Amino acid sequence: MEQGQNGSFDYISVTPPYTAVDYSVLMGQISSSALVGEDSFIVVEYPSRTDMLDTCGCLVKISDRRFGRTHLAIYGPKWAQKRRKSDISAGTILRKFQVESKRNSFTET
């Protein structure tokens, strides 16, 4: 774990013994911990047939991966989420169009 400037950690890895943990309690404890900040990333290893929450305090689940029998939920700040094409707003499309138009006008002259 690497501790940030405000007392929170940048990266936290959680690999508890599967059968000895109540994951809803664990995630509640993690989300209320002073060690987790707005820009922290948390990787939680968990067994299959476990429903992991979509959020952990101020953090959102940005990925859920499976490696054989090992499952990893990765939580992080909202800015770390990958944007889907369907999430692109009309304003974003318009800004991209304006930038391209300006580039084309400079190359034509």
Task: List the domains of the chain with CATH numbers.
Answer: 2-82 (3.40.50.150)
pLDDT of amino acid 100: 59
| Sign of the four-CA dihedral 39, 43, 52, 84 | positive
pLDDT of amino acid 91: 57
Beta bridge partners of 67: 70
Summarize pLDDT for 46-105 with one digit per residue, the tens: 988 888 999 999 999 999 999 888 899 999 999 988 765 555 555 565 566 656 555 555
8 A C-beta contact, residue 71 and residue 64 = yes
- The pTM of the whole model exceeds 0.75: no
